[in-house]
Amino acid sequence: MDNAVRISAAAMMVREQQHEMTAQNSSNIDTDYYKSNELFYVNTEDDTPEAASTTDLSGGALRTTSNPLDVVLGKKYFMKAADDEGNIYYIKDGRLSLNSSGELTFNGMKILNTSGTSIKVQSLSDFKITQTGECMENNAVVDKIDIVQAGSQAKVTPRADGTFTINDAGVEAPSGYALITQGMREGSNVNRVNEMIKMVNTLNSYESNQKLIQANDDAVSKAITEFGKF
């Protein structure tokens, strides 16, 4: 009996965690470049389930902003960026900006060119980025963004600041156009219907597990009262 209660209680806690992820996706339904996460459970050696998450890297809806520093990359493509300490991160968030020295940055991290240094922009009014990541000013190629693709061996891990890390074996040279669209932004890829359905399912499952605990409680109290009668 005790075991049945424990199982139902564990199921309720799992549903709570899944609901948190739904809340996260829902609160970011309007966050540009947000990639939705899904929670799943893996069995560990000692048979206790452990939570893990996967990030859906597919694209969201595109919208025009006419800002030359807004770019969108294809699903498997990433731009390379470096923080002040020189650590390399991969980014899909195309809300780029310039710093006070005119370098292309994302959240303070410098976007790297194919030689591994920062990219300087002289004037934004005629700044263009081509589909392969070449940066053009006055219709002449001046630099090239280092774009990589996540290959079949890739393990793409999200980081808290919206960047990603990719294992070395998974980083490949882009096989085609990186599909950079300039002057556009990508919305979040959260699917409203999916999240609502998940929420309904979560609530139903939560409720049935609650009922199971109550039924168990009923059975126990019945056992106590009925068996006591002669």
**Smallest distance from the beta carbon of 194 to another protein, in angstroms?**
12
Site for another protein contains 21 (CB under 8 A): yes
Stretch 83-122: interaction string toward another protein, x if CB under 8 A: ------------x-xxxxxx------------------x-
Residue 40, token pair as written in the block: 């799943």
Residue with smaller CB distance to another protein, 128 or 132: 128
92 by Cβ neighbours in 10 Å (0-12 / 13-18 / 19+) ranks as: buried
Q: Check if the beta carbon of residue 55 is closer than 8 Å to that of residue 158.
A: yes
Q: Find the shortest distance in angstroms from Cβ 171 to another protein.
A: 18
- Strand residues in 75-162 grouped as ranges (E): 77-82, 88-91, 97-98, 104-106, 109-111, 127-129, 134-137, 140-144, 147-150, 156-158
- Count the site residues for another protein by CB under 8 A: 57
**CA distance linking residue 147 with residue 152, whole number of Å:** 16
Q: Which is nearer to another protein, 95 or 128 (CB)?
A: 95
Which residue, 173 or 193, is less far from another protein as judged by CB?
193
User: Per-residue contact track with another protein, 142 to 181, x per CB under 8 A?
Assistant: ---------------xxxxxx-------------------
User: In the numeric block, which tokens belong to residue 160?
Assistant: 């808290």
